Structure 1
Amino acid sequence: MKEIEKKAFILLKKAIINFGLLNNNEKFIVGVSGGKDSLCLVHLLNQYNLKERKKWDFLAVYIKPDFFDFNIKRLENFFKKYKINYQILEMKIKDKIERLNKNPCFLCSRERKKMFFNFAEELKLNKIALAHHIEDINETVLLNLFYNGEISTFLPIQDFFNGKFYIIRPLYYFNNDLIKNYNKFHKIKAIKNPCPYIKENKRNKIRNFLEKLYQEDKRIRENIFKGIRRIKEKFLP
């Protein structure tokens, strides 16, 4: 096993054990967008499942919005290459977006999550794995602070509807560079996101802001990530 894959396996296992994300023989859904993060996640889970004999039974799910064209064929070829079971779900949201008359990212995200929950319920499953990683967690801290006036972010395992569903984040300990290097090693190429609103959203602004800080001081990335678990309550009102 190459060093990059070994490191990925170690961090995946760390998240699974530390937060109780998955058990052996578990059935669950993996949300896939076609981007580098979700392709890394589904490939890694598949590799880990085969090599560690976890006997997981997971289904990769792509939710296809109706307001832009996406290269579904490339995504399907990826799934077929690695013998990953998959499902494409159509999301009819174009009319809602046109009526909204503003950036629809929140609406789209909410509708996508709703579809994941509904589909999981149909399959009698209660876990959905998503590919959020350290940078996403850091961005969400600032997003919620700047735009919602609260301090909160993604959890490694998050329950919804009193434990009816759980969103799990197996890449919780992964940073962007590790994901890029893992994909490079396995020759995994991300599929371009053609969404016309992607550059306008608030998360993208926060991402660009943080990226400049990361370049100035590499410690900032890890310090934000660590800081969310090192709250000094006596210095807070």
Structure 2
Amino acid sequence: MEKEMTPAARAERSVITTYRRTIWNRFIGAIRDYRLISPGDRIGVCISGGKDSALMAVLFSHLQKYSEFPFEVRYICMDPGYTPENRQLIEHNMRTLGIDAQYFETSIFRSVESVQDSPCYLCARLRRGYLYSCAQELGCNKIALGHHFDDVIETTLMSMLYGAEVKTMMPKLHADHFENMELIRPLYLVREHDILAWKNYNGLRFLQCACRFTQDVADQYHDSKRLEVKNLIAAMKKVNPQVDINIFRSMENVNVGQVIATKKNKIKKSFLEDYDK
């Protein structure tokens, strides 16, 4: 009789069978296209407790076993002050998925409890700083975050509609305050609905928002605007199914000769500077 697979084996196998085209190939595609991993890297895979980072951990676990070149992985869960119930759920999910996560305690939630303006923004900044610090302690030169394709296109539109600028969420970037550290986003090409499908296929349950005070002081403006943009994209896709990929590709096809001005390193350049040349 064939031995029944463990939940961890089933979850890992599903990304290279059932979801090979929609998840695995796009994960590998992002790593290849954006040169996210190099031989000898030690990558801190950051676990937030949600579906995206859990999938990313499973993908890295499989990739490391069969990679064409050597690299190391450390699975990092920075606890910003989760309730005992949320912490237990994260630990349960990591055990279920066979991920050996290392946990770091902080008091970030307590630090931003009294902040009235954009507490979610401040919390995210503090959490990222702690993740870099934890990763450095473990000898990592990169951290991996679980932002996906939908996050990318929503951020692109939000920047235009509410920030009055054209920019996007990058697949990788250098850390500003941590020397020789980089941030990578390996789920950059993976759609959120495919992540949800993988989660449901494997019968998994993850945290939505683990913030202890989100109902009281959360950044309602930012959250509502992101949801507004998500709904806008969904509505436009009913008319043009290619809208999401077109938004994404627009950031690969910026014609700098047909914009009024560009900006790099905080220096703005008008088209008039080269107009008569």
Q: The TM-score by the shorter chain falls in which range? A: 0.7 to 0.9
- Unpaired runs of 5+ in structure 1? none
Task: Report what 1:4 is aligned to.
Answer: 19
Task: Report what 2:206 is aligned to.
Answer: 190
Q: How many residues align?
A: 237
Is the Cα–Cα contact under 8 Å of residues 105 and 201 in structure 1 kept in the other structure? no
Task: Report what 2:64 is aligned to.
Answer: 49
- Structure-1 separation of matches of 2:110 and 2:87: 22
Is the Cα–Cα contact under 8 Å of residues 44 and 76 in structure 2 kept in the other structure? yes
State the Cα distance separating 1:44 from its structure 2 match. 1.8
Task: Report what 2:13 is aligned to.
Answer: none
Between the aligned residues of both structures, percent identity stands at 23
Per-residue Cα deviation, 1:137-163 (whole angstroms, up to 9, x for no partner):
112223333444332222111112386
Is the Cα–Cα contact under 8 Å of residues 120 and 219 in structure 2 kept in the other structure? no
Assess, with a 3 A threshold, how the Cα gap between structure 1 residues 204 and 42 changes in structure 2: closer, same or farther: farther
Q: How does 1:47-86 map to 2 (within 5 A)?
A: 47-52=62-67, 56-66=71-81, 71-86=86-101
Task: Report what 1:234 is aligned to.
Answer: 257
Q: TM-score, normalised by structure 1?
A: 0.86
State the Cα distance separating 1:228 from its structure 2 match. 1.2
- Structure-2 separation of matches of 1:62 and 1:216: 37
State the Cα distance separating 1:53 from its structure 2 match. 6.8
Runs of 4+ in structure 1 deviating by more than 6 angstroms, as ranges, are none
Question: Which one of 183, 200, 207 corresponds to residue 227 of structure 2?
Answer: 207
Question: Which one of 120, 123, 128 corresponds to residue 108 of structure 1?
Answer: 123
Give the 3-state SS of the residue equivalent to 1:60 in structure 2.
strand
Is the Cα–Cα contact under 8 Å of residues 121 and 219 in structure 2 kept in the other structure? no
Please tell me the root mean square deviation across aligned C-alpha atoms, in Å.
2.5
Task: Report what 1:177 is aligned to.
Answer: 193
State the Cα distance separating 1:54 from its structure 2 match. 5.7
Q: Whose radius of gyration is greater, 1 or 2?
A: 2
Give the 3-state SS of the residue equivalent to 1:47 in structure 2.
helix
State the Cα distance separating 1:68 from its structure 2 match. 5.3
Q: How does 1:128-207 map to 2 (within 5 A)?
A: 128-161=143-176, 164-195=180-211, 196-197=213-214, 200-207=220-227
